[in-house]
Structure 1
């Protein structure tokens, strides 16, 4: 028995999620965002599984991520790099045939100044005010790129988690108008939430990310999103505590009745959120077992009184999975699913199924 926490990665579920999300925008190609090590799930095995299922457009954040993915999926896929390419990244992009996303006029000017400039994308800012060329600068961007136009145009929705947010419609129309003159470029606007809102957001290519891994906003009726991973941790000890006793650093939890506790090998050193202290939950055989006391670096204590004989050393408690959904756990910790899965570190053993 291993005493390490483990994440069982459900590749079939990730592929099923990709297909389910793609079915919502049938006139668009369904891409896949696999940045941050496929949101903690493993970019190489996830990328391979999605490529074998038919995915041909991938999105990463950095050129190094793209190079690693290229080596695993081969030459056929289109791999876009959200953060662009400058300096040494240009060599990586050129040698591995990546498509950098240009996020500003200076970056575009720099990219076009090289004789060996290859295919590139442009990000248009339609309201996020984070990355991208602003609307008033788009005419200059079009003029600069007449001899070497972008292959891909994209923008990013501000609040697609809220389907009826007025910004969604505003950004849709803005993106449509700004991108219209760029007739040869493929267009992309929809992230996971955008795919859930409606087909009009699909354009040429969609960019589902967190939804592939079982998180994100609630999908439309009839669309099933499955857990991308089951995060489990082994029980190290089981003990009974008496009324008046406390547990963990700071003695933040005092017991009012006799309780049975289990301490498991999972903590913030593994990437599990410390903010889940006194708020998160685990599951043993479908029985909820609340986290009591602080989540420490290597250990978390759960109240297993209701689990009875299921609570024993060597048993694995579930923290994310079919019994504890990703976004539910994240909400308990005051966070979002993105942070919970991308933060899981190397001490968590990945097992691919």
Structure 2
């Protein structure tokens, strides 16, 4: 039976709920606060996180794939809009419509196909449309958007409920791209609303919420901030940490002479050093880039990671601990309120999103 001997990942649902309520208070002008729960709620478990957010009053959910949307529909029931941010798979349009999911369509071809397929089957076909305001990823180009505005028959047949775009530089408040995208999206929304008066507009992600009320429109789409990632890098994190990851110690070693540690012998430890080898490695989401740079946490202090991280194990320098602390040491935390997702991301030269979504499935998961 799997238990904490495989590593214990504790996920604080109350902190996620508190983060949602904090974001709700920051949303201005009557805009609604939705929630992005894609990638299994950023690796933390959509089946637990989404009902928690629903109980907090969230009624707009966003996922990445149709499979995620179908799972979420089963978990939440029929009374909430679920938007698929990457559209609908070819050939799966009818299943998508029957599940009551709203695909985001980002080309005219996709929009026409969705409308035609659902109409022939006699199904309602609500959808979202995405316009590219400067991210240059998914979205109607300026030319395609002009064609859409001129195609009055398509607009009459299509049940477009939402217009979306996505900010490229929201975590850099002073970046000129933010205001450029805001102006582009606002203009697109105003023009489409003259033809579709009831359409909802959505631009802001987590960091976009903190850019101010001009970016909020009708619905904001926080993701990372819900899970404790700092939406305003370079300033104190206003969000609560949501995860603690504890790795069990499987061996303690005292070095009687100077020795190298780990694959490639990349790091040497002095005679007299104490090491602890913990179960959990890069197969469990502890990124190799942390080797020789990152830390664990035990006995109220940071403990350096030494040598390369292996697939199933990580080695820590515990020389700073007292003999009594070393003797009683059973586990080392790799994430907690003192060793945050954002700090670990810095050690690994990545972002908090990748840290969370990489957390493995061998851990015993405890929901608080």
Instruction: Tell me the TM-score normalised to structure 1 length.
Output: 0.95
Q: CA deviation at 1:278?
A: 0.9
Per the alignment, residue 155 of structure 2 pairs with 146
In structure 2, the CA distance between the partners of 1:312 and 1:268, relative to structure 1 (3 Å rule), is: farther
- Matched residue count: 353
Q: CA deviation at 1:310?
A: 3.3
Per the alignment, residue 12 of structure 2 pairs with 10
In structure 2, the CA distance between the partners of 1:251 and 1:198, relative to structure 1 (3 Å rule), is: same
Q: CA deviation at 1:88?
A: 4.0
For the residues of structure 2 that align with 1:68 and 1:314, how far apart are their CA atoms?
A: 40
Per the alignment, residue 155 of structure 1 pairs with 165
Per the alignment, residue 140 of structure 2 pairs with 133
In structure 2, the CA distance between the partners of 1:313 and 1:64, relative to structure 1 (3 Å rule), is: farther
For the residues of structure 2 that align with 1:18 and 1:292, how far apart are their CA atoms?
A: 37
In structure 2, the CA distance between the partners of 1:122 and 1:305, relative to structure 1 (3 Å rule), is: same
Structure 1 residues 85-128: Cα deviation after superposition (integer angstroms, max 9, x where no partner): 13343233122201100011221121122213510000110111
For the residues of structure 2 that align with 1:222 and 1:230, how far apart are their CA atoms?
A: 20
In structure 2, the CA distance between the partners of 1:225 and 1:219, relative to structure 1 (3 Å rule), is: farther
Q: Would you say 1:329 and 2:344 are equivalent positions? A: yes
Equivalent of 2:62 in 48, 59, 63: 59
For the residues of structure 2 that align with 1:279 and 1:307, how far apart are their CA atoms?
A: 19
Q: Would you say 1:68 and 2:51 are equivalent positions? A: no
Equivalent of 1:108 in 107, 111, 131: 111
5+ residue gaps, structure 1: none
Matches within 5 A, 1:39-58: 39-58=42-61
Per the alignment, residue 224 of structure 1 pairs with 238
Matches within 5 A, 1:1-353: 2-27=4-29, 28-114=31-117, 115=119, 116-144=123-151, 145-147=154-156, 148-183=158-193, 184-218=198-232, 224-256=238-270, 258-308=272-322, 309-312=324-327, 315-353=330-368
| C-alpha contact 1:235 1:313 (8 A) present in aligned 2 | no
Q: CA deviation at 1:315?
A: 2.1
3-state SS of 1:181 partner: helix
Q: Which has the larger radius of gyration?
A: 2
3-state SS of 1:197 partner: coil
In structure 2, the CA distance between the partners of 1:87 and 1:44, relative to structure 1 (3 Å rule), is: same
| C-alpha contact 1:82 1:100 (8 A) present in aligned 2 | yes
Q: CA deviation at 1:73?
A: 1.1
3-state SS of 2:321 partner: helix
For the residues of structure 2 that align with 1:98 and 1:307, how far apart are their CA atoms?
A: 54
| C-alpha contact 2:107 2:144 (8 A) present in aligned 1 | no
For the residues of structure 2 that align with 1:132 and 1:315, how far apart are their CA atoms?
A: 51
RMSD: 1.8
For the residues of structure 2 that align with 1:277 and 1:159, how far apart are their CA atoms?
A: 30
For the residues of structure 2 that align with 1:219 and 1:54, how far apart are their CA atoms?
A: 28
